[in-house]
């Protein structure tokens, strides 16, 4: 009696076919995923044909049909992989996998913004948004923004931000110019962490009053020679970079840490809260020059005064 092992031939043909596919994809630089998506159904056809052939053949000869479980499992694994690829493709995940594999992290220049403050503008109200920001005073009467940000993009693809309006909102109302930094768009793609690492510098005319809402983010202020008062509230770590000839008074209120040149701060501590574990916050004054104009800082974690 002859014994036929169903599945052995199918596994052999599958291995030969898989090797052929891999070889062709390497030689012709073809997309392996596309080839597998079109080739894998042949595995079931080969296995089914082998089973039918041996069942028919066993009727005519005295033979015993035995199933090669290991070979059938191998063919089934390849077929299951093909089904998974089909499901991933139909759900759009395969496109995201391809995009993630072919993408790269790069640092891109922000679309620049330059605009005259405008006649009659007396103050700027700034919402710094969720990203660290450097704010400087300028002398040319323009509000300007420049910087960089990180993004994951396909090779030769367009940048995520194409114009200043994609990350910046500027509106005028009466004598006030409102400036807000927007959250950068998130693609929600595979391997997209959503982190953009935006580093921007905003230049504001020195003659304008400025009110800054820090949104608990880190800020760097370079006021130079102020011609008006500035104020900052709800910042994280605030660095104030002064020049040797700066003429400014820094009035810090409700700050946890005050840092700077030795003997620069005149501080008093204020305990908030009714229990013994109340948070201790500090008020302090830092003067340089005559202190004609004031930078008022409130509800900020840390204020660090430094010179370049």
What is the per-residue pLDDT for 126? 95
Q: What are 247-270's pLDDT values in tens digits?
A: 899 999 989 889 998 778 998 777
The model's pLDDT over 218-227, given as tens digits with 9 standing for 90+, comes to 999 999 888 8
Residue 209 belongs to a domain? yes
State the Cα angle at 48 between 44 and 53, rounded to 5°: 150
DSSP run (H or E) holding 51: helix 41-60
> 51-88 pLDDT, tens per residue?
677 766 666 555 555 666 776 676 667 667 766 766 66
The count of structural domains within the chain is: 2
- Provide the pLDDT for residue 34: 60
- Residues 225 and 153 both lie in one domain: yes
Same domain, 182 and 50: no
Residue 49 or 5, more confident: 49
Q: Is residue 256 part of a domain?
A: yes
Residue 99 in domain? no
Mean pLDDT of 241-246: 86
Q: Which of 46, 67, 91 is the last residue of a domain?
A: 91
Q: What is the CA radius of gyration of the chain?
A: 34
The answer to the question of residue 83 being in a domain is yes
Tell me if 259 is assigned to some domain: yes
- Domain end, chosen from 32, 57, 91, is at 91
294 or 65, higher pLDDT: 294
SS3 85: helix
Q: Is the pLDDT of residue 238 over 90?
A: yes
Range of the domain at 84: 2-91
Statement to judge: residues 111 and 255 lie in one domain: yes
Mean of pLDDT values over 156-166: 77
In a domain, 251, yes or no: yes
**Average pLDDT of the chain to the nearest whole number:** 78
pLDDT digits (tens, 9 = 90+) for 87-117: 666 666 666 666 656 666 778 888 999 999 8
* 85, 128: one domain: no
Nearest to 221 by CA among 127, 128, 132, 135: 135
Coil vs helix vs strand at 151? strand
With a threshold of 0.75, does the pTM exceed it? no
Q: Which of 51-55, 133-137, 207-211 has the lowest mean pLDDT?
A: 51-55
Name which of 24-28, 187-191, 231-235 the model is least confident about.
Answer: 187-191
Scanning 104-238, the segments in alpha helix (DSSP H) are none
Whether residue 57 lies inside any domain: the answer is yes
Show which of 65, 91, 117 is a domain's final residue: 91
pLDDT of residue 1: 47
């Amino acid at each position: 009696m002859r014994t036929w092992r169903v599945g052995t031939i199918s596994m052999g043909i599958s291995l030969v076919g898989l090797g052929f596919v891999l070889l062709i994809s390497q030689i012709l630089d073809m997309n392996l995923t596309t080839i597998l998506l079109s080739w894998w159904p042949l595995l079931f056809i080969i296995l089914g044909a082998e089973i039918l052939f041996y069942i028919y053949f066993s009727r005519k000869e005295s033979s015993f049909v035995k199933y090669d479980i290991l070979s059938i499992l191998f063919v089934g694994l390849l077929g299951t992989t093909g089904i998974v690829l089909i499901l991933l493709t139909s759900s759009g995940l395969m496109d995201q996998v391809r995009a993630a594999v072919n993408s790269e992290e790069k640092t891109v220049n922000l679309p620049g913004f330059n605009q005259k403050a405008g006649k009659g503008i007396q103050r700027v109200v700034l919402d710094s948004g969720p990203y660290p920001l450097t704010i400087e005073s300028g002398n040319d009467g323009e509000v300007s923004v420049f910087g960089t940000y990180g993004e994951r993009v396909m090779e030769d693809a367009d940048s995520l931000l194409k114009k200043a309006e994609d990350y910046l909102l500027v509106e005028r109302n009466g004598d006030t110019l409102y400036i807000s930094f927007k959250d950068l768009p998130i693609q929600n793609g595979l391997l997209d962490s959503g982190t953009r690492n935006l580093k921007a510098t905003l230049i504001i005319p020195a003659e304008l009053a400025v009110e800054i809402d820090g949104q608990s983010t880190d800020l760097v202020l370079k006021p130079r020679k102020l011609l008006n008062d500035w104020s900052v509230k709800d910042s994280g770590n605030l660095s104030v970079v002064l020049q040797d000839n700066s003429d400014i008074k820094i009035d810090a209120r409700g700050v946890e840490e005050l840092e700077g040149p030795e003997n620069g701060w005149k501080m008093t501590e204020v305990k908030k809260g009714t229990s013994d574990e109340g948070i201790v916050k500090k008020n302090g004054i830092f003067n340089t020059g005559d202190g004609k104009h004031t930078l008022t800082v409130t509800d900020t974690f840390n204020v660090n005064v430094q010179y370049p």
